[in-house]
A and B are shown apart, each in its own frame.
Chain A
Amino acid sequence: MNRKILLLTLILSLTTLIAFAKTTITCSGSTTVLPIAQATAEAFMDGHPDINISIRGGGSGVGIAALINGTIDIACSSRPMKSKEITQAKSKGIEPIPYAIALDGIAVVVHPSNSISNLTIKQLKDIYTGKIKNWNELGGPNLPIVVISRDVSSGTFEVFNERVMAGAKVSSSAQLLASNNAVTTTVSTTPGAIGYAGLGFVSSKVKSVAIEKIIPSEQTVKDGTYKLARKLYMYTNGKAKGAVSQYIAFIQSSQGQKIVEKQGFISLN
């Protein structure tokens, strides 16, 4: 009995010792940023065995709320913080500082059999509001358009909503799917479908459409000619210090940006 207790205290004190010896960074938020955070954290921890980074998803809103409540070090977000969130943070004495860590283009995708290869922003808007209902109105095949959108709180939707819809409402018959993968899978199996997803998720199973004659690519996103693009962020409370600043600097370094590209996103520089 006594020996067991002794053993237990020994193990406990050892684990606490190890835990204290390591600096831990906690990071949570956007599921879009998650693969970048995960991959860069692994590479970073290889070089810094004394730093431990724990990463969770949850969504941009969840991450930002956790930062405001002071429970995490870094909030990953696929959108800039909203003014309401900033006020909330200030009232709790938190000063959120954004660090851009990657670029992400949003590709508009259709089924590979669709002959349409270019759409204007105006046409895209008319499709999503339900004004254009058949591909033959755009010179395509005689096929009803199946409109696929993302759920309204996703960062991907937000960019699309801002750049394409400009305040107009997405038709209520549009399918709202919950992830980039769900969108590309559905478009690849639905001949009449149109959807949009992060560039990193576009595969050969779907056809990516040029917007205003500009094909989404690394080049066009970087030089700003392709309009459906966004920055991905990490937020910290005040200027990043110590291990946190080392980690963010690592992501922004050329080595970190290579990992960003490997994950299917676009590097900052």
Chain B
Amino acid sequence: MKGIKEKTFQAIAYIASLLTAVCLIAIIYGIFYDGLPLFKFISWKDFLFTNNWYPVYSPPGFGAWALIMGSFYVTLGALIIALPLSLGSAIFISEIASPGLREIAKPVIELLAGIPSVVYGLFGIAFLAPLIRQWFSLDTGLNLFTSSLILGIMVIPIICSISEDAMSSVPHSIREASLALGATKSETIFKAVIPAAKKGIIGSILLGFGRAIGETMVVLMVAGGAAQIPKSIFEPVRPMTSTIAAEMGETIMGDLHYNALFALAIVLLIITFFSNLITEIVFRPKRQK
């Protein structure tokens, strides 16, 4: 009887993991199935590297360079904004704050992760964008800077929480050894704790990158949506995700435009696949010791 129960449980767990894998394969298959037909019409080089996104004109243009760069710039901006803030707070929570303060500060920062992205978007379009337009006396508040700012705030909890975990799990003996050798508190943090927690910190940044490049709602609402290479950080951009979200609903299914949107999804999939792969390699424990 016990043996059967054990076997059933194992079988259920096995089927569950199998189903997950099947889902992933089905999604990948679906995206490639609908995306690849585009490349019968234009070469992948033209798709990736020309700047000519006019999908509904005749003849249509499917050069996605501006969209790819839009995603790239917004993500880069978000990381530039998020890194000092999130690593700073991670250091504070892990190394400086008193245990009581730590118990409050960490959940508060993690609360940022619980806010739905559409709420961030609404906040951006109705509140932040007009403010930024006034502060910098710009023509428009919906631009690269505003969307990077909001995306940056969104990835703070991810980077902060994971790198804080990595820093707290550095053994106390390392800190004590460093202090015993006469190092100050800040020397200990920067020369002993951070190098020891390096893997976790890099992993957290890569996860933050994945979150920012895949985010759709905020950039759809706040990035402005102009398919151009921005000449300054205050110009509107159009990332790949918001292009897919905005254009998918009304397009003709099975049309070239539809294929082109799936081709954008392939690009996104490849980018996130590689960032996950790098995270995996960074996080993987060494086999031999």
Tell yes or no: A51 within 8 A of B by CB.
no
Partner of A169, one of B54, B226, B242: B54
Partner of A185, one of B51, B126, B227, B236: B126
**Inter-chain contact B225/A192, CB cutoff 8 Å:** no
**Inter-chain contact B225/A177, CB cutoff 8 Å:** yes
**Inter-chain contact A151/B133, CB cutoff 8 Å:** no
- A window 176-216: CB within 8 A of B: 176-178, 182, 185-186, 189-190, 192-193
**Inter-chain contact B252/A82, CB cutoff 8 Å:** yes
Residue of B nearest to A149 (CB): B225
Chain A nearest CB from B143 CB (Å) reads: 9
Contact residues on A (Cβ < 8 Å of other chain), bracket = 35 or more
Partner of A65, one of B224, B238, B253: B253
Tell yes or no: B245 within 8 A of A by CB.
yes
Task: List residues of chain B with CB within 8 A of the CB of A64.
Answer: 252-253
- B window 47-66: CB within 8 A of A: 51, 53-57, 66
Q: Given that A61-B253, A84-B255 are known contacts, is A193 also in contact with B140, CB under 8 Å in the complex? A: yes
**Inter-chain contact A153/B251, CB cutoff 8 Å:** yes
Task: List residues of chain A with CB within 8 A of the CB of B71.
Answer: none
CA distance A154 to B141 in the complex (A): 23
**Inter-chain contact A173/B228, CB cutoff 8 Å:** yes
Chain B nearest CB from A40 CB (Å) reads: 21
Chain B nearest CB from A175 CB (Å) reads: 4
CA distance A189 to B141 in the complex (A): 9
Task: List residues of chain A with CB within 8 A of the CB of B238.
Answer: 176
Q: Given that A146-B139, A189-B133 are known contacts, is A155 also in contact with B226, CB under 8 Å in the complex? A: no
Partner of B249, one of A58, A161, A172: A58
**Inter-chain contact A61/B139, CB cutoff 8 Å:** no
**Inter-chain contact A176/B246, CB cutoff 8 Å:** yes
**Inter-chain contact B246/A178, CB cutoff 8 Å:** yes
* Count, chain B residues at interface, CB 8 A: 40
**Inter-chain contact B139/A182, CB cutoff 8 Å:** no
Partner of A175, one of B236, B250, B257: B236
Chain B nearest CB from A149 CB (Å) reads: 9
**Inter-chain contact A178/B221, CB cutoff 8 Å:** yes
Residue of B nearest to A168 (CB): B57
Task: List residues of chain B with CB within 8 A of the CB of A88.
Answer: 254
Tell yes or no: B280 within 8 A of A by CB.
no
Task: List residues of chain B with CB within 8 A of the CB of A167.
Answer: 57
CA distance A159 to B201 in the complex (A): 51
Q: Given that A173-B235, A175-B236, A190-B133 are known contacts, is A155 also in contact with B250, CB under 8 Å in the complex? A: yes
Partner of A182, one of B54, B125, B228: B125
A-B contacts, 29 of them at CB < 8 A, read: A31-B249, A58-B249, A60-B250, A61-B248, A61-B250, A61-B251, A62-B249, A64-B253, A65-B252, A65-B253, A79-B250, A146-B140, A151-B225, A152-B55, A152-B56, A152-B247, A153-B55, A153-B250, A153-B251, A172-B53, A172-B66, A173-B226, A174-B226, A175-B142, A182-B221, A186-B142, A189-B133, A190-B130, A192-B140
Q: Which residues of A contact B (CB under 8 A)?
A: 30-31, 57-62, 64-65, 68, 78-79, 82, 84-85, 88, 144, 146, 151-155, 158, 161, 167, 169, 172-178, 182, 185-186, 189-190, 192-193
Which 3 pairs show the lowest CB-CB distances between chains A and B? A59-B249, A153-B250, A151-B246
